[in-house]
Chains A and B, each alone.
Chain A
Amino acid sequence: MKRFVFVVAVLCLLPVLPAVAQPGDTSAPRTPWGDPDLMGVWDFRSLTPLQRPSALADKAVLTLEEAATYQRERVAALNKDRRTGDGLSTAGDVANAYNEFWWDYGKELTDDRRTSLVVDPTNGRIPDLTAAAADRRADVRDARRRDAWSPVDRGVSERCILGFNAGPPMNPSAYNNNVQIFQAPGYVVLFNEMVHDSRVVPIDGGPHLPAHVRQWRGDSRGHWDGETLVVESTNFTDKTSFSGSGPGLRLVERFTRIEDDTVLYEYTVDDPESFELPWTVAIQMNVSAQPLFEYACHEGNYGMANLMESARAVDRQTAAGGIK
């Protein structure tokens, strides 16, 4: 009797094995309750630019040789440890104030050697902005060129309201291109390291928030389409702009685990008020062995106070007839 009890107890301690994939499936891993398993820390850094460089025109994919050359030259050009002795201008030298050690923008193209992350339109470029969106963008540029009249001039990432790579949509940028995905029945959570933001996506949840309730990261709803998680987000504010988008943005993101260590992340920007056409991006996310770190952006934002202090100091000197 005791031995039977012991065996039963041991069997109950064994981890629940993943469900066997259905015939015809690509045998992607499954959560314990049977949804496709997207869980893990995913690194979406990439050397591939968002838009195809105009010099590459209709060339959608590089050959192995071209890719190797491109990577080498681009990494050298972006190296923040370059100084005027390496042929960099003085302004460039100052702009490289952060040493290379701090940057993590990616040193490799996507595995398929695309020349842009934009896959539609096929020219690899974001469609033209509408007149309204162009005006909005001009206002933002004017604000950025001003000498920090208020924190609003500096943009949402310098204010530590949103991360500069987290959107939504997510785009590779300077560093911390990390997202950790958590799943429980009825929910997927996209936890972006920048800025410690858990985007909780209800699966087959109710309707979106009322139209007048707007949020910085919009309002997300998800559902499964076979192996793919589809997340639709609306209810954006007019205080953010992702590559030119506006409050009418309807963003559709797709997450598919194409290999054990790779998630394909695609997003479509549907915003006819801002862009002449919808456009789609595909980004490769690679599994990371590292944990996320807390990105306490606002708590450590000495930059905002310092740059505003110095802007006001310049104002005072200018008023006193000093700096011209």
Chain B
Amino acid sequence: MTPLKGKPKPLIFGRNFRVASDGGLSFRMPDGESSHLRDLGTWFLRILDEEEDPRTRILFPTTYEEPDLEAAYVSGNRERLISGKRQNAAALIDAISEATRRKGLTVGSLDDKSAVAWLKSFNDMRLIVGSDIGIQGGEKPEFRSHDDPENAGWNNYALLTWCQDFLLHALEESRARTKHIESRDG
């Protein structure tokens, strides 16, 4: 696992999620960044559609050591797993496509269900991108400069990591505020 210690400096990417005093969750990010996340979602959907793409193996671990049990489990669950991952990526793509754009920023609100779909999709994409760049655990998700030949993969990994981390903590804060308001107001 990757424990995140410290935040990137300067903190530009990822801090795109806000919690209102009533617990409402929203996103607000530069258009370039939202377009990039949407492109990543589209790329992810394409990979899922390609049969037996080796990059997706990390999303579908072997569940049983016993071949007959594994075959039955895959038969009963694999399509449902893939379908869920498709729906989560589609939720990300659709929300960004339908969001308001003003002054170079993409702005929209997220309910709890949508936020969870985004988080799962960020995680799925991180698993593929992170494997691709050889993450072993403990590497800091840092953005790399254009003259680094590996910058594309690392920058995608960093963007997805910080988005997931910030959204997760925003969602927890949103739930805590909503719960507090509900208990206060009876």
Partners in one complex: no
